[in-house]
Amino acid sequence: MSTTAHRSGAMVWARRNLFRSPLDGALTIVFGALSLWLLYKTFSFVFITGRWDIIRVNLRLLMIGRFPEAHVLRLAVTVVGLAAWGGFLAGFIRARQIRSGRVPDIARTPVALLRDIGARLWLPGVVVLLLLILSSTLGPWITVGLAILAAIAGRLLGPFVGRQKLGPVGSALVFLGLGAVPAALYYYVVTAVGFDDWGGFMLNLFLAACSIVLCFPLGILLALGRRSTLPLVRVVCTTYIELVRGAPLFVLLLLANVALGFFVPDSLAPSTSTRAIVVFTLFTAAYMAEIIRGGLQSVPRGQIEAAKAVGLSPVRQTGYIVLPQALRNVIPAQIGQLISLFKDTTLAGIAMGLFELLNVAGAITAQEQFRGQGLIGETITFAALMFWTVSFTRSRESQRLERRLGVGDR
């Protein structure tokens, strides 16, 4: 009886959504057939006709470029350290939120916690497993295993510290410690191998991470400056935003790579990777400023008047009342711009000659054992998979943050 009812419900749904009219039915059939054909071609390429030896042989080059073999251990230590840092940060933030009453103190079993992490990070997990299968040594397996253990240890330690009554001094020490860990790990790697010698997907991640960290506060300052009541500050910020937003990113990268030498001596000119980070930061900050300015305009005037009524200074009004609401209202646009920045790091390879992932993907097809075999499809597909994995995961985490903050609901 239940099976019959289920089939009847499915037929009703199909009639309402797929075959409501002759035109709807024709479109359903055409696009359904096209989707099946694309699915078949994709399956055939991935599992039958695709020649993935070029990825397996060049996996190290694709991921870390020409990074010296003697210092790869430093990368492994950095990955494990960042995993522990990320786990600690997640546990610490959640404990502080529970302590302040912003989220309910609901005890989650280890199974429920693993289910939540699996639902959020299943795609990166699958891609990492695929990379491990393609690797020919035990080093990546050991690194990933230690990183998982470090993340678990950090996740357990974070709530213990977060539940303590830290006070101003303790909070400052924790804040400085959280900032010092990635800085120390970066120094640990860069003292052995300068980032001009980095490459592959690691370089894309590094360029994006540095640019995101730098462009966000700069974008906030530009947005506030454009709304300032001081004419000089407002004109300077507005001019900068409009000029930078009107220039193509590719042209700015070319100018930073070629034209900078005409104005700055070679001994004082920054490295190519540093120039790329500066350009990405300045360019993205201009777009972030306009996004944040839209968020500032969305804050009701009554919120500012209420802040003034309780005697808050202009700085406190902005920091405690206006800016948090503005940033919350424009989370989707901010994340979209940051994802765009991450994908734009491929332009640094074309405009500045950096050996990033897309550049590597094109170069390895010219190797002697793969030359003239038309394997650019396989290498570009691999590069696309890596970029899509990071972008999709970041988008999902953004949506999760929006649900927790109630963006669009209240």
User: Of 17 and 123, which is predicted with more confidence?
Assistant: 123
pLDDT of residue 409: 58
Q: First-to-last CA distance in the chain?
A: 43
Do 265 and 350 have their domain in common?
Answer: yes
- Asked if residue 328 belongs to a domain, the reply is yes
Do 79 and 175 have their domain in common?
Answer: yes
**What tens digit of pLDDT does each residue of 240-261 get?**
999 999 999 999 999 988 887 7
Do 206 and 316 have their domain in common?
Answer: yes
Can you give the residue range of the structural domain that contains 201? 197-410
pLDDT of residue 1: 45
How high is the mean pLDDT of the chain?
A: 87
CATH number at residue 241: 1.10.3720.10
- Asked if residue 82 belongs to a domain, the reply is yes
**Count of domains in the chain?**
3
Contact predicate 99/164, CB 8 Å: no
Find the mean pLDDT for residues 8-32: 82
Strand (E) positions, 320-366? none
- Asked if residue 12 belongs to a domain, the reply is yes
Q: pLDDT-derived band of residue 408, with 50, 70 and 90 as boundaries?
A: low
**What tens digit of pLDDT does each residue of 346-375 get?**
999 899 989 999 999 999 999 989 888 888
Residue 176: exposure state from Cβ atoms within 10 A (0-12, 13-18, ≥19): exposed
- Asked if residue 158 belongs to a domain, the reply is yes
Do 220 and 348 have their domain in common?
Answer: yes
Structure tokens of 368? 């002697």
pLDDT of residue 85: 93
Percentage with pLDDT > 70 across the chain: 94
pLDDT of residue 108: 64
Do 222 and 357 have their domain in common?
Answer: yes
Over 70: is that where the pLDDT of 5 sits? Answer: no
What gap in Å lies between CA 377 and CA 383, rounded to an integer?
10
Reported as type and span, the H/E element at residue 347 is helix 347-352
Do 185 and 206 have their domain in common?
Answer: no
- Give the angle 236-237-242 at the CA atoms, nearest 5°: 100
In angstroms, the Cα distances linking 352 to 126, 250, 256, 277, 279 are 32, 10, 8, 12, 11
Over 90: is that where the pLDDT of 78 sits? Answer: yes
Do 81 and 27 have their domain in common?
Answer: no
**Position of tokens 């797929």?**
18
Do 185 and 223 have their domain in common?
Answer: no
Enumerate the H helices of 101-230 as residue ranges: 110-134, 139-162, 167-190, 200-226
What gap in Å lies between CA 375 and CA 57, rounded to an integer?
13
Do 308 and 357 have their domain in common?
Answer: yes
- Asked if residue 55 belongs to a domain, the reply is no
What gap in Å lies between CA 14 and CA 60, rounded to an integer?
48
Find the mean pLDDT for residues 134-141: 89
Find the mean pLDDT for residues 101-125: 74
User: Of 10 and 361, which is predicted with more confidence?
Assistant: 361
* 370 C-beta neighbours (distance < 10 Å), count: 19
pLDDT of residue 100: 66
What gap in Å lies between CA 229 and CA 108, rounded to an integer?
49
Contact predicate 83/147, CB 8 Å: yes
Residue 94: exposure state from Cβ atoms within 10 A (0-12, 13-18, ≥19): middle
- Asked if residue 63 belongs to a domain, the reply is no
